[in-house]
């Protein structure tokens, strides 16, 4: 179709109707587990060819001025981290885990000219794309010399997808060129849970494993359920379940010696069997909920932190209570998959000290008590409920507006002269300029609230119950039972309190205008959000709270 085109396609996993099949849109860009929907319609791909320019509603100078402001004053590195990972002359803070990894001497080692990421200070707009040297975050220090450049999504200045040239991949019959980010790299390492063996230098076994697995998963079009495919496999193997459920000849046909030896060639077996639905083993591609039922997983799967599950409905934690306490817990309860929401986490992990974050929180949600210091959290309060609502609503807005929730909302800024305050009105400003429809931050947030309340109403309808608290907003036991010698709300633990979490749900339901007992949307709220038709439909089905 030519260079002006863009293609969304399924791989063989989608063709074979594997539950965990994705729609791929270029290497390292994929969408959840929708590939089998394409496959069921015998739809291999959709190609789009651009034939013109994108028109905007207002004067283009307004858009360019807005871009300049964001690039100079607001934007940070990936995940809107606004503090560097190493000491820099421009920053008063350092945060070791920051994704703002650029520094002098850290290069894209496989690039022409061995480009140095250098000092990429705030305001230096032409170096924004150097800030996030994510190859070393995702693949380890050894990855620097195999990095061609950082790539990313269309038009995004951040560039958080590492583009690699790893010649060692060719021994497995795949291209040496690999690109991915985050879980795309991590998940294959989860499959190789026995560890990886270095080949020539320290850390290269891990890098090669991640790169090979990401290529196989992307080429076949297999989703990892936010890493759960590896954890499901690990549990089934370690518990002995796999040996029991697989026919003996099938079990013996699997090259376990490769897994035990940390040889990434095992990944070729793993992904191929799932993709082509080879034998009982391939049911790992059904997803956690189904495989746990089919293979009768024990309670220990859900109740052990190591397996990272969040909900008995079959999805894993994703920036949950272990990182942001009640706020993360509420957000993880709200979705029907892992909570793919970074609105709260980007702010908490921005790298700014807690006292700075608290000042910003006070302006946005009424009190610094909306956030807690690490592993020293406090009981639920109304400010946390407001913060959680902000997180959920902005996430829905970003998905609807096609903004990246891995960056947005831009709640913090790297600039001291702004008191590190970001700009939460930016989504509405961009919306106004692009559409030509003047829209305030409050009006746009109301649209986000409408989107998420409709999502909730659909969940009520599909589950056939208003009892969201008892049937949907569930949490696994490990979050309440870890650290048996410690009590919740004491320093040094992430242990949650059962009563406090029920109170947290009640306070969040109240913020959303939902029924405080069940967590289902009420008629009054649906009508306030212009969804009388939804209220009428739920009433007809007997699914409106009394
Ligand atoms: S849009 Fe998001 S995921 Fe894509 S390159 Fe930018 S920060 Fe990364």
| Domains of the chain as residue ranges with CATH | 5-49 (no CATH), 90-306 (1.10.569.10), 307-540 (1.10.599.10)
Atom of ligand 1 nearest to the CA of 78: 7
Q: Look at residue 542 and tell me whether its pLDDT is greater than 80.
A: yes
The mean pLDDT of the chain is 97
pLDDT at 27: 76
Ligand 1 center to 325 CA (angstroms):
26
Examine the pLDDT at 31 and tell me if it is beyond 90. Answer: no
Atom of ligand 1 nearest to the CA of 160: 8
User: Of all atoms in ligand 1, which is nearest to the CA of residue 407?
Assistant: 7
∠49-51-56 over CA atoms, to 5°?
A: 110
- Measured CA to CA, the distance from residue 259 to residue 436 in angstroms comes to 56
User: How many whole angstroms from 204 Cα to the centroid of ligand 1?
Assistant: 26
Residues 469 and 455: their CA atoms lie apart, in Å, by 15
Q: Treating both helix axes as pointing N-terminal to C-terminal, what angle do 354-365 and 382-401 enclose, rounded to 10 degrees?
A: 80
Give yes or no for residue 168 having a pLDDT over 80: yes
Distance 428 CA to ligand 1 centre (A): 20
Helix axes of 183-191 and 228-238: crossing angle, nearest 10 degrees: 10
**Residue 207, Cβ neighbours under 10 Å: how many?**
28
So what's the pLDDT on residue 429? 98
Q: Whose CA is nearest to atom 4 of ligand 1?
A: 153
Residues paired with 514 in a beta bridge: 521
pLDDT reading at 146 higher than 90: yes
Residue 333 is predicted with a pLDDT of 98
If you measure from the C-alpha of residue 86 to the centroid of ligand 1, how many angstroms do you get, rounded to a whole number?
Answer: 22
Give the residue among 443, 435, 365, 368 at the shortest CA–CA distance from 402: 435
Q: Where does 281-429 show beta strands of DSSP type E? A: 309-311, 315-316
Return all residues near 321 (Cβ < 8 A) that are at least 6 apart: 328, 329, 332, 475, 479, 494, 496
Q: How many angstroms separate the CA atoms of 205 and 197, rounded? A: 5
| 307 in Cβ contact with 274 (< 8 Å) | no
pLDDT value of position 50: 86
- Contact between 44 and 66 under an 8 Å Cβ cutoff? The reply is no
Q: What pLDDT digit, counting tens, does each position of 515-526 carry?
A: 999 999 999 999
Higher pLDDT, 394 or 1: 394
Q: Which atom of ligand 1 is nearest to the CA of 79?
A: 7
Whole-number Å distance, alpha carbon 404 to ligand 1 midpoint, is: 6
- Which ligand 1 atom sits nearest the alpha carbon of residue 152? 5
Q: Is 0.95 exceeded by the ipTM?
A: yes
Peptide bond into 409 cis (omega under 30): yes
What is the number of alpha carbons within 13 Å of residue 190 lying toward its C-beta? 22
pLDDT surpasses 90 at 131: yes
What pLDDT band is residue 179 in, cutting at 50, 70 and 90?
very high
What confidence score (pLDDT) does residue 73 get?
Answer: 98
State percent of the chain over pLDDT 90. 95
How many other C-beta atoms are found inside a 10 Å radius of the C-beta of residue 269? 17
What would the mean pLDDT of 198-202 be, rounded to a whole number? 97
Average pLDDT over residues 372-379: 95
Going from the Cα of 81 to the center of ligand 1, the distance in angstroms, rounded, reads 13
The predicted model gives 211-240 an average pLDDT of: 97
Specify the ligand 1 atom closest to the Cα of 159: 5
- Residue 510, classed as helix, strand or coil, is helix
Judged against a pLDDT cut of 80, whether residue 32 lies above it is answered with no
- Choose the residue to mutate in 75, 135, 395, 404 for probing ligand 1, maximizing ligand atoms within 8 Å of C-beta: 404
Ligand 1: list residues with CB < 6 Å: 78, 152-153, 156, 158-161, 404, 406-407
pLDDT in the model for residue 356: 98
128, burial (CB in 10 Å: exposed 0-12, middle 13-18, buried 19+) = buried
Question: Ligand 1 mean position to 258 CA, how many Å?
Answer: 35
Ligand 1 midpoint to CA 347 (Å): 16
The residue whose CA has the least distance to atom 2 of ligand 1 is 404
**Contact by Cβ (8 Å): 448, 439:** no
* Residues 6+ away with beta carbon under 8 Å from 113: none
Q: Could you tell me where the beta strands, DSSP code E, fall in 309-422?
A: 309-311, 315-316
Rounded to the nearest angstrom, the distance between the alpha carbon of 363 and the centre of ligand 1 is 28
Atom of ligand 1 nearest to the CA of 406: 2
- Is the pLDDT at 52 greater than 90? The verdict is no
Residue minimizing CA distance to atom 5 of ligand 1: 152
Alpha-carbon distances of 451 from 34, 400, 454, 458, 526, rounded to whole Å: 20, 8, 5, 11, 11
């Amino acid at each position: 179709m030519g260079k002006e085109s863009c293609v969304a396609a399924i791989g063989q996993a989608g063709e074979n109707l594997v539950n965990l099949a994705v729609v791929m849109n270029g290497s390292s860009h994929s969408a959840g587990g929708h590939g089998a929907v394409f496959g069921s319609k015998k739809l291999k791909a959709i190609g789009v060819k651009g034939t013109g320019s994108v028109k905007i509603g207002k004067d283009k100078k307004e858009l360019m001025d807005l871009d300049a402001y964001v690039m100079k004053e607001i934007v940070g590195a990936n995940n809107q981290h606004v503090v560097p990972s190493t000491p820099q002359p421009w920053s008063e803070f350092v945060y070791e885990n920051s994704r703002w990894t650029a520094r002098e001497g850290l290069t894209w080692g496989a690039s022409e000219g061995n480009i140095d990421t250098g000092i990429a200070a705030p305001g230096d707009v032409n170096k924004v794309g150097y800030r996030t040297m994510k190859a070393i975050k995702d693949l380890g220090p050894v990855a620097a010399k195999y990095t061609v450049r950082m790539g990313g999504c269309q038009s995004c200045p951040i560039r958080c997808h590492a583009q690699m040239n790893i010649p060692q991949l060719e021994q497995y019959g795949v291209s040496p060129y690999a690109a991915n980010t985050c879980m795309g790299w991590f998940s294959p390492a989860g499959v190789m849970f026995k560890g990886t063996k270095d080949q020539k230098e320290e850390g290269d076994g891990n890098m090669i494993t991640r790169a090979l697995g990401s290529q196989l998963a992307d080429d076949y079009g297999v989703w990892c359920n936010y890493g759960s495919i590896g954890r499901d496999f690990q549990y089934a193997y370690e518990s002995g379940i796999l040996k029991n459920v697989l026919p003996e000849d099938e079990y013996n046909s699997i090259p376990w010696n490769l897994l035990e030896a940390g040889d990434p060639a095992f990944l070729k077996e793993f992904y191929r069997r799932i993709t082509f639905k080879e034998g009982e083993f391939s049911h790992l591609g059904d997803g956690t909920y189904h495989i746990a039922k089919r293979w009768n997983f024990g309670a220990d799967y859900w109740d052990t932190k190591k397996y990272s599950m969040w909900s008995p409905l079959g999805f894993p934690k994703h920036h949950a209570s272990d990182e942001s306490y009640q706020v993360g817990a509420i957000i993880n309860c709200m979705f029907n998959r892992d909570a793919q929401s970074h609105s709260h986490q980007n702010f908490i992990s921005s790298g700014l000290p807690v006292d700075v974050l608290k000042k910003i929180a006070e302006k946005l949600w009424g009190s610094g008590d909306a956030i807690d210091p690490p592993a020293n959290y406090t009981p639920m309060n109304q400010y946390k409920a407001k913060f959680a609502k902000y997180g959920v609503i902005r996430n829905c807005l970003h998905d609807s507006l096609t903004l990246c929730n891995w960056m947005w909302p831009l709640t913090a800024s790297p600039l001291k002269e702004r008191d590190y305050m970001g700009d939460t009105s930016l989504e509405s400003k961009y919306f106004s300029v692009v559409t030509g429809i003047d829209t305030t931050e409050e009006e746009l947030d109301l649209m986000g609230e409408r989107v998420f309340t409709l999502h909730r109403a659909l969940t009520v309808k599909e589950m056939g119950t208003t009892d969201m608290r008892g049937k949907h907003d569930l949490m696994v036991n490990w979050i309440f039972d870890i650290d048996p010698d410690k009590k919740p709300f004491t320093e040094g633990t992430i242990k949650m309190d059962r009563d406090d979490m029920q109170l947290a749900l009640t306070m969040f339901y109240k913020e959303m205008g939902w029924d405080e007992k069940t967590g289902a949307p009420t008629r009054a709220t649906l009508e306030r959000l212009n969804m009388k038709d939804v209220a009428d439909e739920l009433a007809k089905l007997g699914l409106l709270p009394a």
